[in-house]
Structures are given as C-alpha cells and as structure tokens.
Amino acid sequence: MDLDHFKQIRETADPSKFKLGRWANDDEVSILTSLAELYQLRNYFECGTANGWSAAHVSCAMGEGANLHSWDVVERAQVPSHYLDRVERHIASFETGVGAVLSQTRGRKLIFIDGDHTGGAPTRDFQAVEKFLRIGDFVVFHDTAGEAPVARAVEKVKEWHPRWRFVHHPTRRGVGVFEVY
C-alpha cells in the first residue's frame, strides 16, 4: 500500500534473477496499482504469474482483505515469498481454472491478462472471464504493442464490446485497459 513497501520488494529481490527477468516494467505495474487504488478494487485475477512482480505490487496496493489470485502453468515466482503470501497462486491453466474462482467472487474486479501470447491464447483467456464481468470491472492486456496475438485479442474485445471504455498506454510493450461500462 505504501511506497516504502514497494521499495522493499525491489531491494530484497535478487536483481540477477528478478529485476532483469521480469516482464512488466515499473510503468506497467504502476497502471495496475493505480487502478486498484483509485477504484478501490478488492479482487485481482492474473493470467501469467511469471516471477511474481505484478502480483506482489497489486497485493500491496489492494491492502488487507483483498481477494488475489494468479495463474501460471509452471512455478516461476522469484519475489520473496512473504510478498506473495496473500496471493493464491494456481499452477494450472488460467483458461480452464479461472471460471470456478470468478463464479464465487463478489465486487469489482481487476483482471490482468499476460499469459501465453501465442495463437488464440489471449483471446481464449479473455473469453474465460467474459461472462463474469460486470459494470465497473477492468480487464488489462499486457504486450499489446509487441505481440500480434495480444493485439488481435484486444481488437476482438473492442469489436465484441464497442461500448466499453478502452485506453492504450504506450509503455515499452504496451498495455491496453478495458473498463466494463
């Protein structure tokens, strides 16, 4: 929740394995944490835990009592484990596992899609959450600038839901934010 906590995460992580190996950069993680704080979101669902950088920061931004889940097909988290204690990590497919958790969730949600970028995977990841989305929820796609399958998924969501608010953030890899409106 406070900047000192974020600073601690960066200082205690092994830079050779963590800082250089993370996918989402500071600006991109800042978008997620800002959404969580500004809209007082209490539910976070992440497709693609990777090394845990994003989940750890969102966990801090959402504070105590938040409902935090992250999926990856293999265990790769390198963030010191106590920063991910509040995040329920699932070693499984997001596409097949997220629905069971979302069906039990109440309140506004922040969903971060940064999993498999090949073929139709980003579109299928979105479709796995689509029926659970409500007004006030957010879906964030990562790597919208450099990965064609992610860019195609974003264009499909725009086509399927033309009334949703969309903002593209031109970060290093690109972040696309949809607000269910």
pLDDT tens, residue by residue, 90-105: 999 999 999 999 999 9
**Mean pLDDT over the full length of the chain:** 87
Range of the domain at 26: 3-179
**For residue 161, with 0-12 CB atoms within 10 Å meaning exposed, 13-18 middle and 19 or more buried, which class applies?**
middle
User: What CATH number is given to the structural domain containing 162?
Assistant: 3.40.50.150
Q: How many domains does the chain have?
A: 1
Q: How far apart are CA 41 and CA 67, in angstroms?
A: 9
Nearest CA to 67 out of 101, 33, 99, 92 is that of 101
Q: How far apart are CA 51 and CA 49, in angstroms?
A: 6
* Dihedral pair phi/psi, residue 166, rounded to 5°: -130, 135
CA 87 to chain CA centroid, nearest Å: 12
- Residue 52 has a CB neighbour count (10 Å cut-off) of 27
pLDDT of residue 123: 98
Q: Which tens digits make up the pLDDT trace of 38-86?
A: 999 999 999 998 888 899 889 988 988 899 999 999 888 777 677 788 8
* Residue 7: pLDDT band with limits 50, 70, 90: low
* Dihedral pair phi/psi, residue 51, rounded to 5°: -95, 5
Q: Model's pTM, two decimal places?
A: 0.88
* Residue 1: pLDDT band with limits 50, 70, 90: very low
| 43, 110 contact by CB (below 8 A) | yes
pLDDT of residue 11: 55
* Residue 114: pLDDT band with limits 50, 70, 90: very high
Higher local confidence (pLDDT), 145 or 16: 145
**Residue that is written with structure tokens 């991109």 in the block:** 28
